[in-house]
Structure 1
Amino acid sequence: MATDPLSDLDKPEPAPDIERAIELPWSQPKTDQEDVRAPDLLREIMAHPNYLEADADLGFLNRDDMRGTRLQMDYQKAETLLNEHGIAHSIVVFGGTRIPEPAVAQERLAEITAQAAAHPEDKTLRARVAIAARIVEKSRYYEVAREFGRIVGAKEGHEDNRLVIVTGGGPGMMEAANRGAYEAGAKTIGLNITLPHEQFPNPYITPGLCFRFRYFALRKLHFLMRARALVVFPGGYGTLDELFETLTLIQTRKIRPVPVILVGREYWQRAFDPDFLVAEGVIDPEDRELFWYAESAQEIWEDIGRWYGRLGREIVETEGGGEDYEDFISRCRT
């Protein structure tokens, strides 16, 4: 038998998002009037770290079996925030953290020279004087890196973030490149790494664009994901690591080739000998052509532009970020 339809007045209003007229049974803890032990038992339960929500439980997140989650978070935080800032392309700058600006290098040389003069028999101090003098000589590259940062910031502007300077966020050559971009009014990025000894970022990175990674692998990934060129100043193990890894990725075409420029021919020809590697048959002649040398900031910039010009491409791609690497690989295979 059909029933009469309800009138609009009989139909319920939508439930509030949060509020309730009557509290649910678990909205209040069990009282000591019901069980004198209840408050203490409840405090013990809620104070236990296992009661924390998973993303608030640092002890749980730091477990060995949570490494996969940490790797994903290490990648995703920087990726999400870089996208939110509209960062499309980068020029990555690496170099030694021990090479300060010239005035500081001169001060350190004067200090160690005075110490050595006071202890002429100390061979260690004499060796340190020689090293400090070499640092003074290399400190000229601080100004080259600083000027290059200015050129990139000024040439490409800073309004749309289509091309930015990215460094490891440390002192020395990386500080210089960030500093130059900062002085040009451009945004500039630093990718720090968590180390057993505290690492402070240099002060010229744009607030909100300095990221601290747990894993070297994810940090390296972010260096190259948006890279339009790698510019490498004199440096040590960390600099060599990034240089050789990038060259290997280009050699194997695991990444799309980009310009790799080593600043300071004299230094780099002593640091490693690619012609020897070719002669020994451990790399091919074409692998020797994956990089070249430059001396000045303007030369670096012009070389990057010339490299892209020969390919008929722009340093800064049109809106949308250019060709996806998977599309590039597919095109190469057809």
Structure 2
Amino acid sequence: MKDEGERVFPDAHQDVETAREIPDTPQTRAPAYRLAFTDDDFLCRDELRPVRLQLELMKPELLMQEYGIDSTVVLFGGARIPEPARKDTARTQALAELSKYYAQAREFARLITLTSQKNGGRENVIVTGGGPGVMEAGNRGAADAGGVSIGLNIVLPREQQPNAYVTPDLCFNFHYFGIRKMHFLMRANAVTMFPGGFGTMDEMFEALTLIQTKRMKPVPFLLFGRAFWEKVINFEALAEAGTISEEDLNLFRYVETAEEAVEIIEAWKH
């Protein structure tokens, strides 16, 4: 009988190490001889896209399971919004004025994380896009509370470097926007939207569509800054035109402060 824990087949890591000791010959130097799962050129072929999609779905899922993350609170918002202390560096006066939402995002994440820690730190873990601006504020607030937070980065020409406040073991990098957005919402107990640009709006409308079409369970969906959102999106006009239903306007609520948002989330009845 084999001992408990004994493997029938060699561990993949063992074969990787063994392959490194193989004599250097024209045959072993050829790309065809590389182990498929260690061959970057092979894995990046267009034909392997389904495999890469699966890997991007599975890697964060498995690591979050192992870390003990059961549920999250999602914090979306603009990468260009500065912290109040640096609002003088903002490219526009409007961005400088939006710096107050950096402060609100930071405080919101701090309050949510404090409650999460009281309950073991597995529920309602803050998750952001892991970048600068409002995303940084969310991870920073969780760190202020002494807790962990998740960052879901993506490879972009700009703004792709993770901020310094994401928990390193929960800092992920993505190639596919679609898989990244799945990970934002798969564990979400609440979604918060802070002022932002195209990326923030893309995330907002996808999440709202999933809830509207009942492909995702209803959760508290909070838009920070009524004046900003009503200026950039006329939801009422959509309802008046009949392109959305009047009841769809109840899928979200406007809030102004971290305390107000936390109160709504804590009072939510599933």
1:58-69 equivalences under 5 Å are 58-69=40-51
Equivalent residue for 2:146? Answer: 185
Cα deviation for residue 135 of structure 1 reads: 1.3
Aligned to 2:104: 144
What pairs with 1:45-60 in structure 2 (closer than 5 Å)?
Answer: 45-60=27-42
Does residue 209 of the first structure (1) align with residue 170 of the second (2)? yes
Question: Where does the alignment leave 5 or more consecutive residues of structure 1 unmatched?
Answer: 1-16, 19-28, 30-38, 110-130, 314-334
- Residue 98 (1) aligns with residue 80 (2): yes
Shift in Å at residue 154 of structure 1?
A: 0.8
Paired residues of 2:79 and 2:159 also in contact (CA < 8 A): no
Counterpart-to-counterpart distance in 2, 1:100 and 1:198: 13
Give the secondary structure class of the aligned counterpart of 1:211.
strand
Alignment partners' CA distance in 1, 2:82 and 2:32: 47
What is the TM-score of this pair, normalised by structure 1? 0.72
Counterpart of 1:76 (choices 58, 62, 73) is 58
Alpha-carbon contact 2:131-2:159 (below 8 Å) kept = no
CA distance in 2, matches of 1:139, 1:196: 24
Q: Which residue is equivalent to 1:155? A: 115
Are 2:184 and 1:223 aligned?
yes
Q: CA–CA distance in 2 between the matches of 1:164 and 1:94?
A: 14
The number of aligned residues is 250
Q: Do residues 267 (structure 1) and 228 (structure 2) align?
A: yes
Identity %: 48
- The 2-side partners of 1:163 and 1:235 are apart by 23
Cα deviation for residue 277 of structure 1 reads 0.3
SS in 2 for 1:157: helix
Cα offset, 1:166, TM superposition: 0.2
Letter of the aligned partner of 2:109 in structure 1?
G
Please give the alpha-carbon distance, in whole angstroms, between the structure 1 residues aligned to 2:96 and 2:188. 30
Amino acid of the structure 2 residue aligned with 1:167: T
Number of the residue aligned with 1:5: none
CA contact (8 A) 1:105 1:132 kept: no
SS at match of 2:222: strand
Name the amino acid aligned to 1:152.
I
Instruction: Tell me, yes or no, if the aligned pair for 1:249 and 1:255 is still in contact at 8 Å.
Output: yes
8 Å CA contact 1:92–1:223 kept in 2: the answer is: yes
Q: Distance in 2 between matches of 1:211 and 1:74?
A: 9
CA contact 1:168–1:174 (8 Å) conserved in 2: yes
Give 3-state SS (helix, strand or coil) of 2:161's partner. Answer: coil
Corresponding position of 1:256: 217
Alpha-carbon spacing, 1:251–1:297, altered in 2? closer, same or farther (3 Å): same
> Structure 1 residue 50: deviation in Å?
1.4
Which deviates the most, 131-140 or 67-76? Answer: 131-140
Deviation per CA, 1:179-217: give whole Å up to 9, x if none: 000110111000011224461001100011000011111
Question: How far, CA to CA, are the matches of 1:163 and 1:282 in structure 2?
Answer: 33
Amino acid of the residue matched to residue 218 of structure 1?
I
Please give the secondary structure, in 2, of the residue aligned with 1:208. helix
Q: Calculate the aligned-residue CA RMSD, in Å.
A: 1.8
Which residue identity lines up with residue 259 of structure 1 in the other structure? P
Q: TM-score, normalising length from structure 2?
A: 0.89
Spell out structure 1 runs of 4+ moving beyond 3 A: none
One-letter amino acid of the structure 2 residue matched with residue 184 of structure 1: A
For residues 99 and 274 of structure 1, what CA distance do their matches in structure 2 show? 24
Contact 2:220 2:265 survives alignment (8 Å): yes
Helix, strand or coil: the match of 1:93? strand
**Structure 1 position 72, deviation (Å):** 0.6
Partner amino acid for 2:38?
A: A
Inter-partner Cα distance in structure 1 for 2:146 and 2:34: 43
- Assess, with a 3 A threshold, how the Cα gap between structure 1 residues 198 and 53 changes in structure 2: closer, same or farther: farther
Query: Matches of 1:160 and 1:103 in 2, distance apart?
Result: 30
